[in-house]
Amino acid sequence: MGNKLAGAGIYEDFEPSYQWYREQTQDVLHIYLRGFEREQIHVKPEKGSLVIWGERPIDPPKRQRFRKEFSLPKNCKEEEIHAQFSAISSNKSYIYY
């Protein structure tokens, strides 16, 4: 985790914890993003990788942000990847493919 001055704000970079496992018909990625809202998180398949990033205000002028990239298996169909956000159980994002 580190602080970086960018423009008029201070950014606190962090590494989110995650769990990746295989179910019978799909892989599932749980990424834990406590304090983030759905609209503050972005998920995008990109040339054999899955890129997840987000940013949120924490204490003006401070903002917290992350960017995480995962390699996708060669047999993954990027058009079948979908994300689900759950604020009920400690702000998890679920990524299925």
Instruction: Kindly report the CATH number assigned to the domain that includes residue 43.
Output: 2.60.40.790
Q: Determine the average pLDDT of the residues in 92-96.
A: 63
Q: Give the pLDDT of residue 92.
A: 62
Domain range spanning residue 39?
2-96
Q: Which two tokens stand for residue 93?
A: 């994002």
Does residue 65 have a pLDDT over 70?
yes
Q: How far apart are CA 71 and CA 78, in angstroms?
A: 12
Look up the pTM and report it: 0.81
**Considering the chain, what is the average pLDDT of its residues?**
84
Using a pLDDT cut of 70, give the percent of the chain over it: 80
Domain count, the chain: 1
Q: Which two tokens stand for residue 50?
A: 């899955």
pLDDT reading at 4 higher than 70:
no
Q: Give the Å distances, CA to CA, from 45 to 37, 60, 66.
A: 20, 32, 16
